[in-house]
Amino acid sequence: MTSHCLSLEDLSKDDMLYLINLSQEIKQKLEKGEEYKPLKGAILGMIFEKSSTRTRLSFEVGMKRLGGDAVFLSTRDIQLGRGETIEDTARVISRYVDVVMIRTFEHSRIELFAKYSSVPVINALTDLLHPCQVLADLFTIREKLGSVEDVKVAYVGDGNNMANSWLIAAGVMGFDLSIATSKDCAINGFILNRAKDLAKNSGANIIVIEDPVEAVKGADVIYTDVWASMGQEEQREKKHVLLKPYQVNKELIKHAKDNFIFMHCLPAHRGEEVTADVIDSEHSVVWDEAENRMYAQLAVIMKLIGRDR
């Protein structure tokens, strides 16, 4: 594992399995109410350039539960929002805290921050990737299905930061991934090529197609996400037309395995990318998935700052 966590490509398959095991250990200890404070005295800086419910809460509450603390920094309030450079912001913030998480727009912003930060930096979502979400999702899949290697994941919907993160995860871990999206909501070509390169080693079978039924056939996991991501609001109407055939509904799920699980990073829009009778069904694991964000991110922080031993 490198000194930052900007992409799941920063992790090896062994790192991912290690972090999943550590997530499980943290969850068990917290559920049992054990005195467990491995992050005592550690402080996380949290820079948000976009909105958040789950990411903010899971990082902030998680730090406090394990004995550390967190400082919320919105670009509406800090000088970064008034033109102080990313380089200077990184140099300064990293003098005060032990680890930083950032939610921002262009991926190059977090890469630049990481270059000038003297402490580890974690990607809490960029326009390109959302690695913490997929790490928590892999933990949830293992919890529910017993494996993260011998599964078929079907991602149905927009070719966005979640789709990209699934591609990299499959490339590293070696599970099968079918993505169904409109050719006009195309997947990032660079990410797809990286995933296919990684798959040569891991054995992942990665398919990107237009037919959602074909993608979902025999799937253990059906995953979807909003049709218009944060920062893409002006594309909302266009995406709604293009992605209408990609709604996860009662008809589509008939093609998955009988015991498939439905996942969504949330926030969800019932009646758009998923119908209420799917997200609120017994197949849906979205609430456990949201909870697991906390354990997975704590595992990443513990590993990055050497508190996991």
4 is catalytic: no
d(CA 133, CA 142): 14
Q: Which of 208, 265, 268, 298 binds ligand CP (CB under 6 A)?
A: 265
Catalytic residue among 4, 54, 56, 130: 130
Question: Binding of ligand CP at residue 74 (CB under 6 A)?
Answer: no
Catalytic residue among 225, 247, 264, 297: 225
133 is catalytic: yes
CB of 238 to ligand NVA, least distance (A): 16
CA atoms within 13 A on the CB side of 212: 23
Contact 117, 93 (CB under 8 A): yes
Q: Which of 55, 89, 160, 178 binds ligand CP (CB under 6 A)?
A: 55
CA distances, 127 to each of 50, 86, 216 (Å): 10, 17, 26
Measured CA angle at 122 (ends 118, 123), to 5 deg = 130
Binding track over 220-259 against ligand NVA, x by CB under 6 A: -----xx--xx-----------------------------
Contacts of ligand NVA in 157-176 (CB under 6 A): 160-162
d(CA 68, CA 301): 11
Q: What are phi and psi of 65, to 5 degrees?
A: -65, -35
Nearer to ligand CP, 78 or 266 (CB): 266
Amino acid identity for residue 184 in this structure: D
d(CA 170, CA 192): 11
Residue number of the CB closest to ligand NVA reads 229
Q: Which of 265, 286, 301, 302 binds ligand NVA (CB under 6 A)?
A: 265
Q: Please list the active-site residues.
A: 103, 130, 133, 225, 265, 293
Contacts with ligand CP by CB under 6 A lie at 52-55, 125, 133, 265-266
